[in-house]
């Protein structure tokens, strides 16, 4: 996977070193917004930091442990999505994502996640896809719900976000429910 088309507006591309300057630009422009729910912005904000992140991501992709992609919207890099972990023994993946503040509300992340779910079930032959979202992160939780995912529970004290202790709501979609839910959601969106 080097790049894939999600739809006419959205493409995904496996991260590469040439993306580092654009990531720096995004983090500088959207730092406050991204820092609300992501732990890394204070610690990963230089070109060197992003180059290290990209190298690690490519190594883990080669080892089959994760998959990190840049999100392009109308030809411009606007965020990131990933299988943070690919667990082959449990046949599960967990999805992570972030998007520039000015690109919110266009359905980009929902469409990206729907594409990632298809990759997980159809190409990687996984049995379960998970999204963990901070309980207070209503926008991220709404994405999981729009995707037809089931809330499996809440894990208390799940993340230390630079001093803020967050609980995570865990959402999941199982392979056997994927085709039924997926097909009905697509039908709803087309009407």
Residues 87-109 pLDDT 10s: 999 999 999 999 999 999 999 99
Could you tell me the domains of the chain? 3-190 (3.40.630.30)
Q: Percent of the chain scored above 70 by pLDDT? A: 92
3-state secondary structure the chain: CCEEECCCCEEEEECCHHHHHHHHHHHHHHHHHHHCCCCCCCCCCCHHHHHHHHHHHHHHHHCCCCEEEEEEECCEEEEEEEEEEEECCCCEEEEEEEECHHHCCCCHHHHHHHHHHHHHHHHCCCCEEEEEEECCCHHHHHHHHHCCCEEEEEEEEEEEECCEEEEEEEEEEEHHHHHHHHHHHHHHHHC
The CA-atom distances, in angstroms, between 59 and each of 79, 85, 96, 123, 134 are 20, 13, 18, 20, 28
- pTM for the predicted model, two decimal places: 0.89
Does pLDDT of 44 surpass 90?
A: no
The pLDDT assigned to 148 comes to 94
Rounded Cα distance between 127 and 175, Å, is: 5
In tens, the pLDDT along 8-20 reads 999 999 999 999 9
pLDDT, residue 43, reads 87
Place of tokens 């006419």: 8
Q: Is the pLDDT of residue 3 over 90?
A: no
> How does pLDDT run across 124-168, given as a tens digit for each residue?
999 999 999 999 999 999 999 999 999 999 999 999 888 889 999
């Amino acid at each position: 996977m080097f790049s894939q088309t999600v739809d006419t507006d959205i493409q995904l591309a496996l991260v590469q070193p040439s993306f580092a300057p654009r990531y720096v630009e995004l983090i500088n422009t959207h730092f406050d917004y991204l820092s609300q729910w992501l732990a890394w912005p204070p610690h990963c904000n230089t070109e060197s930091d992003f180059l290290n992140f990209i190298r690690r991501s490519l190594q883990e992709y080669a080892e089959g442990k994760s998959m990190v992609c840049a999100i392009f919207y109308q030809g411009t890099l606007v965020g990131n999505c990933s299988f943070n972990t690919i667990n082959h023994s449990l046949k599960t993946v967990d999805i992570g994502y972030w998007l520039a503040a000015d690109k919110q509300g266009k359905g980009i992340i929902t469409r990206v996640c729907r594409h990632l779910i298809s990759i997980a079930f159809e190409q990687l032959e996984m049995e379960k896809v998970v999204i963990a979202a901070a309980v207070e992160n209503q926008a991220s939780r709404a994405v999981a719900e729009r995707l037809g995912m089931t809330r499996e529970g809440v894990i208390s004290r799940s993340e230390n976000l630079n001093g803020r202790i967050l609980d995570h709501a865990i959402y999941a979609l199982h392979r056997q429910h994927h085709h039924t839910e997926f097909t009905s959601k697509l039908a709803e969106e087309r009407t």
